[in-house]
Amino acid sequence: MSANYSFWKMAFDYKWVDAISLKGAVKTDINIFGEITANEYKQITGIDYVA
């Protein structure tokens, strides 16, 4: 689990971010500074990550 997983989980749970906005925090080849993995995105949102 990433260091920032708990923060992003809480942000999503409290509706500070939605699933679309949370995609900006996912680490990808293009977004190398992302803070969560695609698997963690799915754990948080229940939705498969699709770029």
Walk along the chain (51 residues) and give the pLDDT tens digit of each residue: 888 999 999 999 999 999 999 999 999 999 999 999 999 999 999 999 998
Query: Residue 2's pLDDT is what?
Result: 83
Q: How far apart (Å, rounded) are the C-alpha atoms in residues 41 and 37?
A: 6
Query: Residue 51's pLDDT is what?
Result: 85
Q: How far apart (Å, rounded) are the C-alpha atoms in residues 11 and 32?
A: 21
User: Would you say 14 and 6 are in contact if contact means Cβ atoms under 8 Å apart?
Assistant: no
Query: Residue 35's pLDDT is what?
Result: 97
- For the record, the structure tokens of 45 come out as 């949102």
Query: Residue 24's pLDDT is what?
Result: 97
Of 26, 31, 32, 20, which is closest to residue 4 (Cα–Cα)?
26
